[in-house]
Chain A
Amino acid sequence: GESVGLHLPTLSVQEGDNSIINCAYSNSASDYFIWYKQESGKGPQFIIDIRSNMDKRQGQRVTVLLNKTVKHLSLQIAATQPGDSAVYFCAENNSGGYNKLIFGAGTRLAVHP
């Protein structure tokens, strides 16, 4: 598969532990945020989204937290599994009306058995 972001920050966790991936976004006017997962050789895959009128949203094994005061987004993955190993990107909608997702640099999650 393709290697994405050879110099990405890496978070290493043990299988079964909880993972927290952080992201700082740039525009205080952004009102929509998405977390994507990208496995080697594949396109980004939607995980969860959140709008700026919320500070927390939960999905299956994942939770996104939004702190607008400090422009910070986090993705929490419960009971991390080897299949969660991937690069994770946060994206913000920074378009003033149209979709123009701006992606963060990404974090590589490595899950060890």
Chain B
Amino acid sequence: DSGVTQTPKHLITATGQRVTLRCSPRSGDLSVYWYQQSLDQGLQFLIQYYNGEERAKGNILERFSAQQFPDLHSELNLSSLELGDSALYFCASSVEQRSTEAFFGQGTRLTVV
């Protein structure tokens, strides 16, 4: 168990809908990262937050947004969902802002039908 908790584990929703994925980082970790993993794309970095502020952005679609709350948990919001958004979404956390071991949660499996 990495100490990073993601909910829900599985999510099935229809195209056009909006969903929210939740992540609780390890105790003491200030950085939260979101990754998308699909079969043909591997692990793609989406966004990083550190202590409530956005720190780095990857290939995150405009339909996607994230935030980190004062209690350090983070949410990834996916809207106007398309079939191609079906993937595993992972959250990871680390103590520092950069260059440190990041611990991953078990992921949320999103299926858009």
A-side interface residues toward B, CB under 8 Å? 2-7, 31-32, 34, 36, 41-46, 49, 51, 89, 91, 93, 95, 97-106
Contacts and interface: CB of A to CB of B under 8 A. Distances in A.
A98 B97 contact: yes
Nearest to A30: B99
Given A43-B90, A45-B2, A4 B99 contact: no
27 contacts: A2-B88, A3-B39, A4-B37, A4-B39, A6-B39, A7-B40, A32-B98, A43-B90, A43-B92, A44-B90, A45-B2, A89-B42, A95-B56, A98-B48, A98-B97, A98-B98, A99-B31, A99-B48, A99-B56, A99-B97, A100-B48, A100-B58, A103-B35, A103-B42, A103-B43, A106-B42, A106-B43
A99 B39 contact: no
B35 to A, nearest CB: 8
Given A31-B99, A93-B99, A104-B42, A43 B33 contact: no
Contacts of A4: 37, 39, 88
B18 interface: no
A46 B101 contact: yes
A89 B37 CA distance: 12
B99 A5 contact: no
A5 B39 contact: yes
B74 interface: no
Contacts of B33: 99, 101
A34 B101 contact: yes
Interface string B44-65: 1100101000011010000000
Contacts of A100: 45, 48, 56, 58
A93 B105 contact: no
A45 B3 CA distance: 12
Contact of B105 (A5, A7, A43, A104): A43
A42 B106 contact: yes
A46 B55 CA distance: 22
Contact of B102 (A2, A46, A98): A46
A44 to B, nearest CB: 5
